[in-house]
Structure 1
Amino acid sequence: MRKILIILIGTVLLFNNKISAQLSIENLNVSQTKKFIKSSQRTANIDLTISLLEHLCSLSPQNDKAFFNLGLAYYNKREYSAASEKFLKSYELNKQKNVSALYFYSKMLKYNGQVAEAINNFTEFKKIGKRTKFYSQNRKEIESEIAGFNVDSVKNNVKIARIDNEINNAGAEFSPIILDENRFIYSAFNNEKNAFSLYEASKIDNKWTKSDNVIDALSNLGYSIGSGSFSKDSLRFYFTVCKENWQNKTICEIYVTSKSSEDWTSPIKLEKPVNLTNYTSKHPTVTTNSKNADVLYFASDRPYGYGGLDIWFTEYDIKNEMFAEPKNLGGKVNSKHDEITPFYDYNSHCLFFSSNGFQGLGGFDIFKTYGDKRKWSSSNNIGKPLNSGSDDFFYVLKNNAGYLISNRSDSATGKLETCCDDIFAFEYNIENKILLKGSVYSINPIKYDNESTFSENIKVQLYIKGDDDFYLADEQLANLKGEYSFLVEKDNDYKVMVSSNNKEEFLTVNANDIKAANTDTINLMAISIDYIPTEAFTINDVYYAYNDYQLTSEAKDTISKKLLAFLNNNKNISVEIASHTDNKGEDSYNIELSQKRAQSVVDFLVTNGIDATRLKAKGYGENFPLTANAFSDGTDNETGRSQNRRTEFRIISAETSLMVENK
């Protein structure tokens, strides 16, 4: 199928409606009209192309190809009613030859929300067109378009409404960036600058007002400014700049400005490998990686993608002060058509984006996928009413509310045409959500009474079930009481994970249990963690004869009851046996003596069945006293010396386990 020219205000196409000389279209003959059509198509002058094609159709009212091309032109301009009329005319002029016109007519009905009529015509198209070359060449796209009717049954528990005309004007608005619950930044055409600029929308007393010069450093850039995203720390603003190249092709590139004190720096274009000559990179959204470096997701038509525009990501290399080579997000996100306007919600680890390559209601639909970088769940259409038969994109979310851009008609505000993009506000109904609450506490295996305490600052992660795996959806640190909570949707399966000492364990929560709970809060079982201390523990009552390293019978009895029993009960633990002396004698001699004493403990444990690889003997001599060997006046501190002559053990490695239990 011929690739349809996608005119998205979101990509900031620069309109070129200037004609080098005054042209009286009505005076052109057929041959002249066709020549001017080719010229206007080459410069992407869609309004002139439509006027010329309308004239050609009036001159040649039986020219089915002219009506088909006129339908495509209206489709590209997103005037779906006019497009459907022309496609139908083209089909009726030559039904046997022009089956593709019936397909596009059915598609325009779908885009206009005429679902029943669209289904009937798609059914007719499949019956007469299934054996045609057109159908075989475009089978996947056709079947995806038809399957998109199934999405109609997916309805979100959400309210959506077009923002009033103080913000939505006659032109196009796009790329909302949420500042807080009553303010957002967006891009719209600036008549004075003859380019797109950033504005701020503010809601005061339930009324919207707008102001300009959002970021002073961008006010005199001289080019159209499109979609943007603040870094997680709000110190950098990445945004799109679009301009025409020498071939009159609109190329978009990503720029960045940084905040210094109260001012923003002059914008800098990101160099290779983010921006590539003669290829578009746009629609940046930013999060961070484990090194707290920026991770940039963006749309690009660069080589080695899946289709037209794909979504890619790149990570900032702090050491080399540059972005790494971008990588494609893969086939679960990208199709052979176009994926645009990514938005990464780092609270839920969910990527929202728009695509015209997956099953949808019409045009660009909004999809979501969980994951990051190269690992993603399968993309799911977020359904009605957030998606419509028109183009829906630039979805952004904060907490339970957000904005999106759509060219859908809206009878409530009198918007009947589908040519232009407007901002719509939406808010999810939290009645479809439930609070998962739980706590984390620790048990110290060294303390024989199994004393437990609640654990703060333990990382707790929430995973959501995808089509083939669980994907990270949220994470937080337990509070001072060891508590955590997650607000989740009721229709999914989840796992709660707690990490400790490189060991992980999951607590499963399935959708059926959530629905059966019939409450707004589910209290989960407490999660207990085997606490592995890093400090050394003194083994009391282990004595040696003066200047000797052999264990006494009393010492062996103590080691058997305490250390040997502990090691037998904790076979996943390795320990260091440390011996210390007081400061009598030469330092070198004390080191040697303490090493032999530590080794004697290791030998005793090995003799009693402990694997030698779990034990390490270390003599520290007099180097680490617990207390002073002498008083401040120089007299001997015999009590202090006896405390310094000791044997300790310290855990040096452990494969710990997590236990899920009621408490």
Structure 2
Amino acid sequence: MKIITFKITLILIFLVGSTALGQEGKLKRADKKFNQYAFVDARKIYLEIADEGYSSAELFEKLGDSYYFNAQYEDAERWYQKLVSNYEAEIRPEYLFRYSQTLRALKNYDAADRMMNKFNAVNGDDLRAELFEEEPNYIRNIGYQESNYTLEDVRAINSRYSDFAPTEYEGKLIFASSRDTGGASKRIHKWNNQPFLDLYSTRVSEESYSRPSRFSKELNSKFHESTTTFTNDSKTVYFTRNNYNEGNYRKSESGTNKLKIYKSTKKGSTWSTPVEMPFNSNEYSTAHPTLSPDNTKLYFASDMPGTIGQSDIWFVDINEDGTYGEPKNLGRPLNTEGRETFPFKSLNNDLYFASDGHPGLGGLDIYVLGTKKDGSPDIINLGEPINSSYDDFSFIVNDSTQVGYLASNRKRGMGSDDIYRFVQEIIPPCEMVITGVVTDSDSGELLPGATVLLMDEDNVLVEKVTVADDAIFSFDVACETSYVVRGSKEKYNPAEKSAVTPAKSGKVTVGIALEKVIRKAAVGDDLFQTLGLNPIYFDFDRFNIRPDAAFEISKVLAYLNEYPTSKIDIRSHTDSRGNDAYNESLSDKRAKSTMAWLISKGVDRSRLTAKGYGESQLVNECSNGVKCTEEEHQLNRRSEFIVISQ
């Protein structure tokens, strides 16, 4: 029996070992294909291994990636979710970011934000994390952007395959496509299981398009071509191709064929044999070129040494003799640890690009490089409908016609990537005025001669005016800007109001109501309350006016001077402690002492009356024999200045 058990054990060990060796072999084959970007073939093997019950963080990472890099986000989400759920301790920060991007593409923004918060916790120095922390309400902010684009799928030229990278050229639209045009042999790219890309051309007439045909037999090869940019004289083209030229197919040391930028010149109707750029390399990719409007700079995407993320936007100077300068990275904040790619320079010298590193709606979004008020760079998301929750890229626009194109793999398209045409509404320059009237807050009367200051959001003076008899002020200002309007006038307290101008032309009305420093009181009012006086103190058993008391009484003097017909009754009170008759006498002396001080300062005797009431008018229950706190007694030791006539 023991012998039989031993044999069974050996057989089981052999079977388990064989299975493990088989899985290890499959993994090696799959990894090799994955590293060569043959995602479709690699995925088939990974799925077989997963179906056999094998599980690891690396397997789930690569399965997720095989879908993620082909924008198949529903499937990518399945495997990234398994990765996060089963291997939380092993997960690398980049996969938290990719999972967040995947969830964002599926419009599961709350879950996407939770993943970004985890990403930030372990990778807070990453620019993508910093940008998320700076703008946690990015979805709302992008959604609130008022778009002036109308967008439509150009179904006349799109296929069920990948169509992207449009470029305007001599009345035509040049673009890249992996469409199957038939032929004896059909070569399939293992990245996405589609035919290799070629350059195609369609003639554009208003909004109609001719049937697409291959652009140039000299430029197209049996491998990938895409992303063209032409010089202003139409005689030179830069474009992207696999590392393949004149029959030579080259790989990096790791066995990967990279992308390179090539140049060709036109002689008659024929394009010359392409030559590669001197800054290309077998070890990294350069791709998606675009020329500056004056053709002195070439912008492109690359993962060459010095790249911040997976790919960055770079540029080189094109010298007058046709040579090229050293590549320069555009740096932060444009480039992030994510993907920045497909740059485009418009006639207005605006730089557009696609990125998944900046806050966006999902996948690659399209951005334009702007400038903030302080002169620093501003990365602006173009919002919907240009961007979607999927990949949006290869944006171009003709600034003179306001017509442009982009590519997107959003679900409503015909193929995996479609070309969309958009029209940008021409919006006249925004003209904005902030205007208003300066008035008295109590009477509503106009206040000519008032000064009005316009301040920016940093409290820096923009403009200053003195209003005329109509008390109206008016400032020409910028749209979508925060300001502060501040009014002032002698004998009035300054007042200010904030104003945020909208995006459309118009005016913002801001009324400035100033309150008098000394407001007119009604008959029966106590100036102690109206003027906000502090308690008026006398030395113990004394009735002479102390300096601190004089300071408070001087406010009453100022009121009497401001309103020369008003009359007041000065009333002095004590608490209940001490002899009643004595308290009445002392308080009367204090009231009359206060009146004498005002008369000495020029107030007519006929405008004043004064009397002491001792403890006869207590404001609480602290009468003789009642135990009270010092604070309660203090309430009874008070001075009143009652307005009896105006």
Give TM-score scaled by structure 2 length. 0.54
1:331-342 → structure 2 map (5 Å cutoff): 331-342=332-343
Describe the SS at the equivalent of 1:258: strand
Please name the residue that 1:257 is paired with.
264
Partner deviation per Cα, 1:520-552 (whole Å, 9 max, x = no partner): xxxxxxxxxxxxxxxxxxxxxxxxxxxxxxxxx
Instruction: Verify the 8 A CA contact 2:354 2:393 in the aligned structure 1.
Output: yes
CA distance in 2, matches of 1:491, 1:276: 46
Please name the residue that 2:240 is paired with.
240
Please name the residue that 2:549 is paired with.
none
Change in Cα spacing, 1:58 to 1:342, as seen in structure 2 (3 Å) is same
CA distance in 2, matches of 1:287, 1:96: 47
CA distance in 2, matches of 1:201, 1:90: 45
Partner deviation per Cα, 1:239-258 (whole Å, 9 max, x = no partner): 12213533432322222222
Please name the residue that 1:392 is paired with.
392
Please name the residue that 1:635 is paired with.
none
Please name the residue that 1:230 is paired with.
230
CA distance in 1, matches of 2:352, 2:481: 18
Tell me the CA shift for residue 224 of structure 1.
2.5
Partner deviation per Cα, 1:262-321 (whole Å, 9 max, x = no partner): 32341332442x3244332221111354xxx53211222222233332222223222x33
CA distance in 2, matches of 1:46, 1:301: 20
Change in Cα spacing, 1:145 to 1:249, as seen in structure 2 (3 Å) is farther
Instruction: Verify the 8 A CA contact 1:298 1:341 in the aligned structure 2.
Output: yes
The one-letter code matched in structure 2 to 1:367 is Y
Change in Cα spacing, 1:162 to 1:330, as seen in structure 2 (3 Å) is same
User: What is the aligned counterpart of 1:89 among 76, 82, 89?
Assistant: 82
1:591-610 → structure 2 map (5 Å cutoff): none
Describe the SS at the equivalent of 2:225: strand
Partner deviation per Cα, 1:32-61 (whole Å, 9 max, x = no partner): 433332232233221122222222222116
Please name the residue that 2:584 is paired with.
none
Instruction: Verify the 8 A CA contact 1:287 1:344 in the aligned structure 2.
Output: yes
Please name the residue that 1:39 is paired with.
32
Which sections of structure 1, spanning at least 5 residues, go unmatched? 1-25, 437-466, 468-488, 494-509, 519-663
Matched, 1:198 2:199: yes
The one-letter code matched in structure 1 to 2:173 is F
CA distance in 1, matches of 2:308, 2:417: 27
Partner deviation per Cα, 1:112-153 (whole Å, 9 max, x = no partner): 223xxx314633774xx4797xx2467643464674434343
User: What is the aligned counterpart of 1:173 among 153, 163, 168?
Assistant: 163
Please name the residue that 2:638 is paired with.
none
Instruction: Verify the 8 A CA contact 1:301 1:310 in the aligned structure 2.
Output: yes
Please name the residue that 2:434 is paired with.
none
Change in Cα spacing, 1:152 to 1:370, as seen in structure 2 (3 Å) is closer
User: What is the aligned counterpart of 1:281 among 283, 286, 289?
Assistant: 286
Q: Which moved more, 1:333-342 or 1:63-72?
A: 63-72
Partner deviation per Cα, 1:398-417 (whole Å, 9 max, x = no partner): 1212111111111xx576xx
CA distance in 2, matches of 1:124, 1:332: 22
CA distance in 2, matches of 1:491, 1:513: 5
Please name the residue that 2:67 is paired with.
74
Tell me the CA shift for residue 376 of structure 1.
7.8
User: What is the aligned counterpart of 1:188 among 157, 169, 177?
Assistant: 177
The one-letter code matched in structure 2 to 1:299 is A
Please name the residue that 1:424 is paired with.
420
Change in Cα spacing, 1:232 to 1:131, as seen in structure 2 (3 Å) is closer
User: What is the aligned counterpart of 1:163 among 154, 158, 161?
Assistant: 154
CA distance in 2, matches of 1:381, 1:188: 27
Instruction: Verify the 8 A CA contact 2:285 2:303 in the aligned structure 1.
Output: yes
Instruction: Verify the 8 A CA contact 1:349 1:370 in the aligned structure 2.
Output: no
Please name the residue that 2:360 is paired with.
360
Alpha-carbon RMSD across the aligned residues, in angstroms, is: 3.8
CA distance in 2, matches of 1:512, 1:145: 27
The one-letter code matched in structure 2 to 1:269 is V
Instruction: Verify the 8 A CA contact 2:35 2:256 in the aligned structure 1.
Output: no
Change in Cα spacing, 1:266 to 1:27, as seen in structure 2 (3 Å) is farther
Instruction: Verify the 8 A CA contact 1:286 1:294 in the aligned structure 2.
Output: yes
Instruction: Verify the 8 A CA contact 2:219 2:271 in the aligned structure 1.
Output: no
Please name the residue that 1:269 is paired with.
275
CA distance in 2, matches of 1:251, 1:124: 32
Tell me the CA shift for residue 394 of structure 1.
0.4
Instruction: Verify the 8 A CA contact 1:102 1:121 in the aligned structure 2.
Output: no
Describe the SS at the equivalent of 2:211: strand
Partner deviation per Cα, 1:548-585 (whole Å, 9 max, x = no partner): xxxxxxxxxxxxxxxxxxxxxxxxxxxxxxxxxxxxxx
Higher Cα radius of gyration: 2
Instruction: Verify the 8 A CA contact 2:229 2:289 in the aligned structure 1.
Output: yes
CA distance in 2, matches of 1:324, 1:385: 38
Q: Percent identity?
A: 24
1:387-466 → structure 2 map (5 Å cutoff): 387-398=387-398, 399-410=401-412, 420-430=416-426, 432-434=427-429
Please name the residue that 2:297 is paired with.
295
The one-letter code matched in structure 2 to 1:174 is F
CA distance in 2, matches of 1:492, 1:428: 23
Describe the SS at the equivalent of 2:290: strand
Describe the SS at the equivalent of 1:515: coil
CA distance in 1, matches of 2:214, 2:262: 17
Instruction: Verify the 8 A CA contact 1:295 1:313 in the aligned structure 2.
Output: yes
The one-letter code matched in structure 2 to 1:33 is K
Instruction: Verify the 8 A CA contact 2:240 2:288 in the aligned structure 1.
Output: yes
Describe the SS at the equivalent of 1:378: strand
Matched, 1:218 2:219: yes
Change in Cα spacing, 1:99 to 1:121, as seen in structure 2 (3 Å) is farther
The one-letter code matched in structure 2 to 1:218 is L
The one-letter code matched in structure 2 to 1:298 is F
Tell me the CA shift for residue 105 of structure 1.
4.4
Matched, 1:154 2:155: no
Instruction: Verify the 8 A CA contact 1:199 1:212 in the aligned structure 2.
Output: yes
Change in Cα spacing, 1:286 to 1:388, as seen in structure 2 (3 Å) is same
Tell me the CA shift for residue 65 of structure 1.
5.4
> Alignment length, in residue pairs?
400
Describe the SS at the equivalent of 1:254: strand
Tell me the CA shift for residue 383 of structure 1.
1.4
Change in Cα spacing, 1:253 to 1:120, as seen in structure 2 (3 Å) is closer
Please name the residue that 1:122 is paired with.
113
Change in Cα spacing, 1:377 to 1:103, as seen in structure 2 (3 Å) is closer
Instruction: Verify the 8 A CA contact 2:430 2:505 in the aligned structure 1.
Output: no
CA distance in 2, matches of 1:513, 1:424: 30
Change in Cα spacing, 1:113 to 1:130, as seen in structure 2 (3 Å) is closer
Please name the residue that 2:128 is paired with.
141
Instruction: Verify the 8 A CA contact 2:264 2:275 in the aligned structure 1.
Output: no
The one-letter code matched in structure 2 to 1:354 is A
The one-letter code matched in structure 2 to 1:283 is H
Please name the residue that 2:344 is paired with.
343
Tell me the CA shift for residue 367 of structure 1.
1.1
Please name the residue that 2:106 is paired with.
112
Please name the residue that 2:529 is paired with.
none
Matched, 1:60 2:53: yes
